[in-house]
Amino acid sequence: MRSFRVFLLSFLLLTNLNILATKAEEKTPYISYVPGEGIAVEALDATISPETTLVFQGVTDPNRENARASGGISWVGYLGIEKKFAEYGKVTLQFKSGWGETVEKEVNLLNGINFNSYDVGGNVRLRQYFYEQYLLDKQVTLLIGRRNPRNVLDEVRYANNDDIQFLADIFNKSPGIDWPSDYTFTIHARVAPKAIDFFEFEFNFFEANADWKKIFKGGFYTWQLNFKPAGLLKLDKDKWEGNYRFYTWLNTRPHEKLGRELDPPSTDTKNVSYGFGLGIDQALGSVFGIFSRLGWQRPDVLPARGGASIEFNWSVGAQAKGKYWKRENDILAIAVGQVCPSKEYKEAGNLAHPEGHFESYYNYAITKYMEIGPSVQLIWNPDGVAKKSQGQINPVFIYGARIHILF
């Protein structure tokens, strides 16, 4: 309850920022506030951007032993600070707080149902801080600092933001990537030549252990190529923008090799893992958009961060703006996908049927900066279990709602 009171007080304070900023602006021209864009400190060429999301989810038939139908809430809040240095650089800080996990503890799954949850008991933490340097008229970007690796790889425009888009993990990032365990040290390089503006190349290094010890010993390396056909074909990007990304990754943390079910415990624990993926998003006019993901990773080792060995995953989906029902700022979206454990994971004694996910959400725009709407999910073969006789409910139904506010 204490965390909830803190959230309510923060909400009331931030919703009155317009009044506070207006009064400040009467005294000095250096501070301004625009709803949805945050506070601009013009003298410092800096911006302060608060944002918050509240998610409710419920489950009718949980598949965890002794669990029962229930509901729960998760909340997350962000405070972003950006300071520009003319046209050549930028510093970014992000403070983050959150509490609650909705009903994630009531269900056994290979892949999660609430990518938005960040349960730190309402404490405020500095999660990201990095510096970007622009070179050659911004054709080259270099970055160093601490960052969430999920913010820079496998980005898909219509399925990449759990604050306003899908909530299920599979529709935010590929489950077939063995991510570093937390926000961590990174070096990033991006090349986007203006002469061939339909190609972008990115390289990232992350400290895979995320403990800031021996930073370069256990690395997570990524390479990503993005093809943009609208640039090549000189199409209107507002209507036909598309991104066709191919990426590979390498995680050099020690990985345990999977053995067969009756084998003694494995002593082969110094393997690396690797994989590749595709991410596609394509606008179809000014109303519709489609997306797809495909991922593969080495099947015979366990992920260094724990969990099942997911060899393949795929997902497809679409969204539509509310133009045809006179709600142009509303969004209706739908997606389906599967998480497929490896054969080696099954041979080690685990149930390994492909776990299927379906999700649909609707965002009702109360204002340009505030959205609310329902979300539903259906998961079949949860946790790799295909039959009720194997001891679990199949399928699992998740219902919920979400509210998102930009201040």
- The 10s digit of each residue's pLDDT in 199-230 is 999 999 999 876 667 777 789 999 999 999 99
Helices (H), ranges, 47-99: none
Give how far Cα 217 sits from Cα of 91, 135, 204, 220, 251, Å: 27, 29, 15, 10, 11
Cβ contact 247:277 at 8 Å: yes
- The pLDDT-based confidence of 351 (bands split at 50, 70, 90) is confident
Q: What is the pLDDT of residues 366-389, one digit of tens each?
A: 998 999 999 999 999 999 987 765
- Stretch 110-127: mean pLDDT, rounded? 95
- Stretch 115-137: mean pLDDT, rounded? 94
Give me the domain span that covers residue 268: 137-352
Number of compact structural domains in the chain: 1
Cβ contact 244:227 at 8 Å: yes
Q: Position 127: which residue type?
A: R
Q: What is the pLDDT of residues 155-203, one digit of tens each?
A: 999 999 999 999 999 999 999 999 987 788 999 999 999 888 899 999 9
On whether residue 107 sits in a domain, the answer given is: no
397: pLDDT strictly greater than 60: yes
17: pLDDT strictly greater than 60: no
6: pLDDT strictly greater than 80: no
Measured between alpha carbons, how far is 54 from 360 in angstroms, rounded to an integer?
17
On whether residue 65 sits in a domain, the answer given is: no
Question: What's the pTM?
Answer: 0.86
The pLDDT value given to residue 12: 41
The pLDDT value given to residue 86: 85
For the record, the structure tokens of 185 come out as 């040290």
Q: What is the pLDDT of residues 272-319, one digit of tens each?
A: 999 999 999 999 999 999 999 999 999 999 998 888 999 999 999 999
Cβ contact 127:151 at 8 Å: no
Considering only residues 265 and 258, tell me which one the structure prediction assigns the higher pLDDT. Answer: 258
On whether residue 108 sits in a domain, the answer given is: no
Measured between alpha carbons, how far is 383 from 356 in angstroms, rounded to an integer?
10
The pLDDT value given to residue 322: 96
390: pLDDT strictly greater than 70: no
On whether residue 330 sits in a domain, the answer given is: yes
Cβ contact 140:263 at 8 Å: no
Cβ contact 326:355 at 8 Å: no
Considering only residues 332 and 66, tell me which one the structure prediction assigns the higher pLDDT. Answer: 332
The pLDDT value given to residue 392: 67
β-partners of residue 248 are 223, 276
State the average pLDDT for the chain: 88
On whether residue 262 sits in a domain, the answer given is: yes
Go through 257-276 and write b for each residue having 16 or more CB atoms within 10 A of its CB, e for each that does not.
ebbeeeeeeeeeeebbbbbb
On whether residue 78 sits in a domain, the answer given is: no
Strands of 9-88, DSSP E = 31-34, 38-41, 46-59, 70-85
The pLDDT value given to residue 389: 52
Give me the helix-helix angle, 2-15 and 17-27, nearest 10°.
Answer: 40
On whether residue 195 sits in a domain, the answer given is: yes
Nearest Cα residue to 219 out of 263, 189, 184: 184
Nearest Cα residue to 37 out of 25, 49, 20: 49
The pLDDT value given to residue 156: 96
On whether residue 261 sits in a domain, the answer given is: yes
Q: What is the pLDDT of residues 70-92, one digit of tens each?
A: 999 999 999 999 999 988 899 99
